[in-house]
Each structure stands twice: as structure tokens, then as C-alpha cells.
Structure 1
Amino acid sequence: MTDQAVDNGGTKVSAQGQRPAAGSAPTESQFLGRTRELKELRADIERAGLDTLSGRKAPRARVLLIAGKPGSGRTALAEELVRQVAESYPDGVLRARLTEPDGTPVPTERTARDLLTALELRTPAGASADDLSEALREALATRRAVLLLDDAADAEQVDALLPDRPECLVVAVSGGPLTGIADVRPCTLGGLDTKSALELLTRHTGSVRITVDPRAAEGLVEECAAQPAALELAGRWLAARPQAAVADLAKHLHTENEEGTPTARVFRLTYASLPSAAARILRLLSLAPAGLVDPHTASALAGCSVNAARTTLDDFVALGLVRTVDSPLPQYEVPGCLLPLLRALTETHDRPAELQLARARMLERTVRLLVSCRAITETDSSPAREKLAGMPRALRFPNPRAAEDWLRIRRPALLASARLAVADGELDTLARRLMAALVRAMVAHFGTQAAAPELYGIHRLVLDVAERRDLPREKAAALLNLGDLDAQTGRTAEALGRYRAALDAGREANDPYATGRAMESVGGAHQELEDWDRAADWYGRALAQRLARDERVDAARLYGRIATVHTYAGRYGEALRGWRAALAGHRKNGDVGAQARALSEMARVQEYAGRPEESLRTCQEAVEWARRAEDVRLQAALQLRLADTLDRLGDSTAARLHRGAAERMLGDELPESVTAREQDANACEIRSASEED
């Protein structure tokens, strides 16, 4: 963007070598003016700080502040500065926006996570803001990088992200001072110099209209207070009207009695010239999540066709009312300085019921796109194919790759849409459908582990709605999902609390599935905490419910989990009884593979109990069942178990035969440098029932 670039909202992150997700960074040929400011900012990078003057090494990164009102070109100046100094920071440029389009500060947790993701570092789901900030500082401790923190609301936001490394640079953009950050170097923006302002107008109007009446052009610059955003709108207004004189526009703005900033006055002039249908679409764009719009969003908001919406959006781009986003898919953004003006217009011209209907249409369209996005992955499912065939062509994806690309590109807007829908509180039914569809689509395309951080946030939103609407069944489901994610990231105590709350909600809803699942999860949490007695007790409660409901598969599995806990506790007799019960259950269910695994665990317990002969016989039986189940890795692991047992019984020749058989089964899966005993420990260890579950 040029120096006339206007600020946008939402949180976007990009790494060096990529263009910012919210729009293109300025290039040298595009940028205008600000020569003095750039020179001062670059000098501030090298200037000694207070710590250096006092003889101490600077403890943190240098912070440069670019302060100015929205529409002053502050973001464009920051981008140009970063472009000029990027070569001195070989570890890249990270960008993040710290304020939502509606002015709400972005939580530090989300910003830090996005920055870590830009560094290609995994972040645990549900981690606190402090943990993520610390992880970011650790990641930057060995890097020489630039952080561009745009639209900072206050000093606390910036301070939480500052690297503890003087070799890094932070460029912060804000509307005012960042009081509280030591040794910050501020640069306050006013208007452009007259020469640059006139050149900006010339880019849109051509040189003739400026040179034939230079006084009028200078008067127009004065009416726009030399503000880049106002000049951009004025230049595009003139470009759309080749017959209009610069003097006419300057005179109109001079006689304009309405109050407001220069940007607001020029915007009102542009808005007044729009047809009523286009003006309505423009107003409704203020409802777009994260300020990001695609043709589907605009189509749903306005209730028009997708093609008509895209044509209108392109017309808005020509007028400077929206900007295109550098993206493989058609995507646009509403300039941040125009969003308050659009919201004011919606309050004046649109009834609340109409706005609510527009939001509902947008959410419904998003749900249908997400359903289509997931259904394209289920190519072997007849219901999925029928569902896809029944959708309009505009809502269908040509292949799974196209659906995944759409989901990845639109993910920030989709997550923002879920947050806004929950915060609205009036469309909770649609919000619940949206979140359910979003979870299913993300799991289908990215997998549970890769999408875990986003899923954690969605489940918290589901919990908010469930508590607000008093929906105990959905509350239980959300708590169970959150508990699982907490448990996966090592926060076992937090997971235990969520599982207990889920149990209460499941009982309130009279939901046997949620109740049984919660009791089993409570047992699993106690097992992780090595509280074997409580773990066995809770597994026993879950087992009693499964038996009462004649749920044989789950009952057999729970017998195994109880047996595993007894094994950990050293109660081998009870453990063997548990595995025998599990084995009997798997036989009744006809699960050959589960029988083999149960026998293998029985052999393990018998070995622990000092009964190698029994362990050998059980292990041989397990090998036969694993062969029937065609589970090669389990067969190999059991052969290694047999080899170890035979070694202990003194039959080394038979042990070598079994070990050789295991190696032949696994083939290339075994590293050549690993000994036979290490293979048993690392590659072929039989997992316990708790791990299998």
C-alpha cells in the first residue's frame, strides 16, 4: 500500500518473505513522502538508549513508536520502515494487529499464539497468555527479527510481546503514547508534505487536472488536511468523474457544513453518490467478521447473488472504499478508519431487525460452506455425496484440496465469525451450528492435533453458549472436549476439574453417554496423577453403568483399564482377574485384535508377577490371535517378548529364533543401529490398554 494506506482491523501475522495477510506491504515505488520521519526512525534504531548510556546492556528490544490517527498512513510508514531495515534482521519480520475492527483489544494469548505459529512453532492448546508470551520470548531469544505490532491499544499489549533480546526490533503503531514502556522512541504523524500530497492526487487524476489549476489542487490538499486516507478517497472520487474539476471538489468540501474529520467528509461525499443498493451493501460490510469480506459474505449480507456481490466489491475497490487482500481467493477488507463511519450509517439507515437478518444470512451461508467443505472429504459416503449434490453450485468445492485451501485462508474470518456470533447472544442456535460445522471441517482437513489450539477456543465458546442458554447436555460435551485437550497438554489437574463438572452436567441432562464418558475420564485423570485407588474406583463406576446398559464393547475395554491400574499399583492378582474379564468380553464381541492385545497384557502381568512359564504360554497364545487379526506389529512385539522370556528361562537358541522372526516381520521399520533389546523397548513395546484407549 502507499502512504495513503488506511488502517484495518483484526489480527494478522506474516513472516519475512511473505506479504502481510491483511494486505500488501508498501514497496519503494509505491511509497510517498515521510522522508524526514523515516530518517529519524532509522536513526533511533542505532541511537544509544538509557541503559547503554548508564553502562548497562539493554535488556530488551528497541521499541519504535509510530503514533497517529487512523487514516494518517501510520501503518504504511511502519511497513516502509520495516522494508528498509529488513535486511539487517535475517530471522524475519513478524506482523500482528493488536485491535479488532470494533476497537476491542486482541487478547495477548491469541497474538502470541499467532506469532509462534508464524515461526512454525507448535503451541499447546489452552495455554495461558503468560505461558505463550514466555514461549515467544524464548523463541526470539536466539533470533534477530523485527516485530511490527499494528494498532496497539495500550502499552500492556506491547510489553507482553517484547523480546528479551536487544538485537531484535519492535515497531509499534498506535493512536497515542505507550506510557510505561521504557526508552520508547515516538514518531508522531501529521499530514503529508504538499508535494507528496499532490503527487498522490496525480496518481489518480493524472497530471493535467492538477497542473492546470495548481491553486485548486493545493486547496483540496488543505481541505483534506494532507491526510493520506482523505486524499486517497478524494483522488479516486475525481478518477471516477473525468469531467469534474479539482476546484469543484475543493469548493464542495470547503462549503460542507457537516462536522467530522477530513476523511469522514470525503467519505460522505463518495457514499452519497452510490446507488441505493450499493450503499446498502457498503453499510452491511461493517458486519463482516475481522473486517474481511469475500463475495460469499457480501452476497449473504445483502441477499444478492455471489457474482453481483463480487462486481460491487470491485467497484468499491475502485472508489477506495475497500481494499483487495493479497490472497489466492478473492478477498477484501474494509479500511479500519472507515468502519466507524459505516457503523454510524447502519444505525441511521438500517433497522435492528434488518441487521439481525443480515447477520443470520451470513452465518447460515458460512455454515453451508463449512458443511460442503467437510462433505467433499467424505467421498465414500453416499449421504455426503447426496448432500453435496443437493447444494447450489456456488457452495460446492471442486475437490478436497480446494476446500482445504478455502478453510485455511478463511480461518481467521471463520474464527472471528464464531466469536462475534457468541458475543451477539441473539443468534445462539446459528452460532451453535456454526461452531459444530467449523470443528468438523477443521478436524477433517487438518486433524485434531494440528487444529487443537483453535478447537480449544471453539469449545470454550460452546461452553459460554451452553451456560447462557442452560443447556446441560452441550455443557457436558464442551467440558469433556476441553478436559481432553487439557489432559493432552499435561494440565491434568485442570482436566480433572472439567471432567467432574462434565459429570454434574451429564447427570443434570440425564445423558448416560456423557455421564459414563465423564466417569471414565475422571478415572483416567486420577491414573495420570498416579492415584491408583481413585482411578480404579472411577473406572469401576463407569463399568457398572456400561454393564447396566449392556454396552459390552465399552465394558470389555473398561475391564482392561481397571486391570492396567492394578498393574501400576502392583496388585497383579487383581490385574490378572481384570484382563481375564476383558478377554472374555472381547471373545463375546468377536474382536480378534482386542483378544490378542488382552492376552499380551496378561503375559506382561504374569511376567511382572514372577511367573515366566505362564507368561510364555500366554504370549504364545497371543501370537496366534495376533496372526489371526493380521496385526504384524503386535506379532513382532510378542515375538520379542517371547525372546526375552526365553532368555530368562535359559533357552537362548529359541530366543534368537523369535527375535529373528520379529526382525523379518518388521523389516525396514527397525533401525539398523538399534540392538535387539532396544528394539523391544523403543519400536515394538506393547502398549497398555490405557494407551490403546
Structure 2
Amino acid sequence: MRDFVGRRPELALLRGLAHPPAGPAAAPPVAVVFGTPGSGKTTLAVRLAEQLAGEPADPPFLLDLQGLDARPLTPQEAAGRLLAGWGAGELDLVRLNPQERLARYREAAAGRRGVLVLDNAADEAQVRPLLPVAGRLLVVVTSRHTLAGLEGVHRVELTALAPEESAALLRAVVGAARVDAEPAAVEQITELCGHLPLALRVAANWAATRTSWSLGRLASRLADEDRRLDSLSAGDLRVNSAFSLSYSRLAPETARMFRLLSLIPGPDFSAPLAALLARLPLLDAEDLLEELLEAGLLTTRREDRYRLHDLLRLYARSRLREEDGEPAGPPTGPGCAADCWPRPCWRAAATRPTTRRRRPATRCSGRAAGSRRCTG
């Protein structure tokens, strides 16, 4: 992967897990790599596998668990594919019932060394039976979800790239000469992409296939907020598609909260403002925000504040226009807290601290699932 950039601390942590210090036998190491759609989780795992490929261990192995498909792999199906990839005969596997297949998988995993990547995991129930209980095999799980229910794992959250890393990615794909010739345009492009690896790669691929165009022209295209997400497409690589996969699996009330968050001004916000926008009691609003956190569509900041990535904000705004029509400002009407708050207080609500409470998040296989009702 010649154009991989950044993520040095994360790679160092994962390589350290692959080389545990000598001492009493411990449980095999497990790392969960999670983050916003498009943050480069699979790319990081592949890069790790490349770095470990030359070591005296079993070859790295990656299995797509199809966690965002309508029907993700079951643990038993995943175990069968892993055993087949490790050399088990097809006839032997056919004779095993599902539980025997899992037991055979754990036995085989205990005897392997190296790294196994379980990519695109759906949830904890899919992953848990696939975690080895003995041996020295490093398992790296990638997921858009935090998989908070897994115990005893190392968590690696992928955030936006640093500005210099974003510029380095453009340089690796587009070429040093063009990037170094237009530093102002490069800075504008990386900012407009929100330093999100997928968006940067799409923009870089777009520029690389238009060698006669200036990077300033690309920056001008991306500057239009209404067209930015549509512009971030190169062949079958589309930022919009990455976001829609996660959005389509939200419960209706959670999806509504996501859309409304696009109206909040400023870089971050607090739960009381989200409750106000959604016309929900504070605790119910916090539950929906936690579901968005679990889905990788929100991040947290200092003092219990939440942040919606700039590109996700544009996507949420587009869904709001499409599904609801865009309100002109804070909600009003009978029973709405905005009736009691002057407009300056609506904006100031983003500064009010709140203590989040966590609860198990719920996920839907589609938008038709039942929704939560509240008359707040």
C-alpha cells in the first residue's frame, strides 16, 4: 500500500500487541478499531498485515464479516470460511455441525501466530464466538460500531488525519509536483474534506485522473456545500455511499435526531440543545445521541460535548431536506421547550454541560423498524 500515510501511533500500538512481552501466558490480544465511516479502518488493518507479513509467523488473514449487509455472516459461517482458508478440507467441514465448527476453529486459532483481521463486524454477538481463548494470534476487529460490550480488548479509535498527513496523502496520490505547486489549494481541499481519509482519497483520485486541471479548480468545486458530497466521487468510490450505509441502519427516531443535528451551529454541542431540537426529554435525547455514538456517526469532545463531522453534517442536512423539509430555526409550537427560550438561549444551549449516561445501543436492520415515541 504505497500511498498509506499517518496512523503511526495506532500502528505502533497494534504491532506491540502482536509482540507481547515474555511472561506468563495471557489471553490472546484483541484490538477493536472503530471510527467514523471513511476513517480508514480497513486500510489500517491491511497496512498492519503488510508490516507483519515478513515475520516468522503464519500469513496474515483477513475476513470480511459483511456487517453492513442485509445478512451478515453468522459466527459459524465465519468460522467455516476461516478454517477453509487455513487449509481444512471441504468434506471435513460439511460433516461438522455449527458448534463443532466453532470448536474446530478455536482449536486451530490457538495454534496460529500472526494476525487475523475480522473486518466490518456487525456487533458483539457476531464477533465474540470468534475470539480465541488460547494462543498468541492477534485478532484485529474493525467496525463502524464501538462494540462496547466486548471485554478485555484494546480499543483504537480513528479520528481525522492531521493537516500535514492530509497533504501527504494528496501528494502520494496526485504527485509531489502538482501538490507543492498549489499549497493554498491543497490546504483548502484538505479542510473541505474534513481531513477524512476516504474523502481525501476520492478527491485525490479525482485530481489524479484530470492531469490538465488545477487543484484550485477542484477546491472551487468542493467549496459549494450543496454539491460537495456529490463532487466527492471517483468511479465507484463515493463518500455519500459510505455514509448512507450507516444511516440506513438507524432506528427511525435515531435517524431523525441525526438529521436535526445538522441545524446546530458551531463545532460541537451539548445534549440539552439536541433535546430541544428533537422536542424530547433530556434523558431520551441522550439515549439517541448514544446510539449515534455507537454507530460511529458522532464523536465526543471535552466536557461531555458532541461533535458531528463536517461532511456528516452536510449529509444529515441533505437527508433533512429530502425527508422533512428544512426548518428555518429552532423548533416551536405547543409543548416545545423553545417556546420558553429566547433565540439567544437556543444558541447558548450548546454551551451547557451535561453528564451522559450510557445504555446498550439498539440497531435496526432497516428504516422500517419500530420507532421510539415521546411527547416531551
Normalising by the smaller structure, the TM-score range is 0.5 to 0.7
The alignment status of 1:138 with 2:104, answered yes or no, reads: no
1:248/1:87 Cα in 2 relative to 1: closer, same or farther (>3 Å)?
A: closer
1:148 deviates by: 0.7
The alignment status of 1:61 with 2:28, answered yes or no, reads: yes
The alignment status of 1:338 with 2:223, answered yes or no, reads: no
1:340/1:185 Cα in 2 relative to 1: closer, same or farther (>3 Å)?
A: closer
Q: SS of the counterpart of 1:244? A: coil
What CA deviation, in whole Å up to 9, does each residue of 1:172-197 have, x standing for no partner? 11113223333211111112222232
* Residues 70 and 337 in structure 1, CA contact (< 8 A), matched pair in contact too: no
**Residue 321 of structure 1 aligns with which residue?**
236
The alignment status of 1:107 with 2:58, answered yes or no, reads: no
What CA deviation, in whole Å up to 9, does each residue of 1:35-60 have, x standing for no partner? 12212222344567xxx8xxx742x3
* Residues 62 and 166 in structure 1, CA contact (< 8 A), matched pair in contact too: no
* Residues 192 and 227 in structure 1, CA contact (< 8 A), matched pair in contact too: yes
What CA deviation, in whole Å up to 9, does each residue of 1:199-242 have, x standing for no partner? 22223433333223212211110111111211111112223333
The alignment status of 1:225 with 2:194, answered yes or no, reads: yes
**Residue 255 of structure 1 aligns with which residue?**
224
What CA deviation, in whole Å up to 9, does each residue of 1:475-520 have, x standing for no partner? xxxxxxxxxxxxxxxxxxxxxxxxxxxxxxxxxxxxxxxxxxxxxx
* Higher share in helix: 1
The correspondence for 2:231, drawn from 269, 272, 278, is: 269
The correspondence for 2:16, drawn from 43, 56, 67, is: 43
1:100/1:254 Cα in 2 relative to 1: closer, same or farther (>3 Å)?
A: same
Equivalent AA in structure 2 for residue 197 of structure 1:
S
1:47/1:135 Cα in 2 relative to 1: closer, same or farther (>3 Å)?
A: closer
Pairs within 5 Å for 1:648-667? none
The alignment status of 1:199 with 2:168, answered yes or no, reads: yes
* Higher Rg of the two aligned structures: 1
Q: Identity of paired residues, percent?
A: 32
Gaps of 5+ in 2: 248-376
1:31/1:340 Cα in 2 relative to 1: closer, same or farther (>3 Å)?
A: closer
What CA deviation, in whole Å up to 9, does each residue of 1:568-620 have, x standing for no partner? xxxxxxxxxxxxxxxxxxxxxxxxxxxxxxxxxxxxxxxxxxxxxxxxxxxxx
The runs of at least 4 aligned residues of structure 1 exceeding 6 Å deviation read none
* Residues 65 and 187 in structure 1, CA contact (< 8 A), matched pair in contact too: yes
Q: Which has the higher contact order (CA 8 A, sep 6+)?
A: 2
**Residue 154 of structure 1 aligns with which residue?**
123
The correspondence for 2:5, drawn from 13, 32, 53, is: 32
The alignment status of 1:98 with 2:13, answered yes or no, reads: no
Give the Cα–Cα distance (whole angstroms) in 2 for the partners of residues 183 and 213 of structure 1.
47
Give the Cα–Cα distance (whole angstroms) in 2 for the partners of residues 72 and 232 of structure 1.
11
1:178/1:45 Cα in 2 relative to 1: closer, same or farther (>3 Å)?
A: farther
Equivalent AA in structure 2 for residue 42 of structure 1:
R
Give the Cα–Cα distance (whole angstroms) in 1 for the partners of residues 114 and 212 of structure 2.
49
Pairs within 5 Å for 1:580-591? none
Give the Cα–Cα distance (whole angstroms) in 1 for the partners of residues 243 and 159 of structure 2.
21
1:89/1:157 Cα in 2 relative to 1: closer, same or farther (>3 Å)?
A: farther
1:121 deviates by: 0.9
* Residues 71 and 337 in structure 1, CA contact (< 8 A), matched pair in contact too: no
* Residues 72 and 122 in structure 2, CA contact (< 8 A), matched pair in contact too: yes
Give the Cα–Cα distance (whole angstroms) in 1 for the partners of residues 48 and 216 of structure 2.
35
Give the Cα–Cα distance (whole angstroms) in 1 for the partners of residues 102 and 39 of structure 2.
30
**Residue 52 of structure 2 aligns with which residue?**
85
TM (norm. structure 2) is 0.57
Give the Cα–Cα distance (whole angstroms) in 1 for the partners of residues 65 and 137 of structure 2.
19
1:80 deviates by: 1.4
What CA deviation, in whole Å up to 9, does each residue of 1:113-156 have, x standing for no partner? 11010111134327443221111011223332421100111122
Equivalent AA in structure 1 for residue 66 of structure 2:
T
TM (norm. structure 1) is 0.32
Give the Cα–Cα distance (whole angstroms) in 2 for the partners of residues 320 and 153 of structure 1.
26
Give the Cα–Cα distance (whole angstroms) in 1 for the partners of residues 116 and 172 of structure 2.
31
* Residues 99 and 153 in structure 1, CA contact (< 8 A), matched pair in contact too: yes
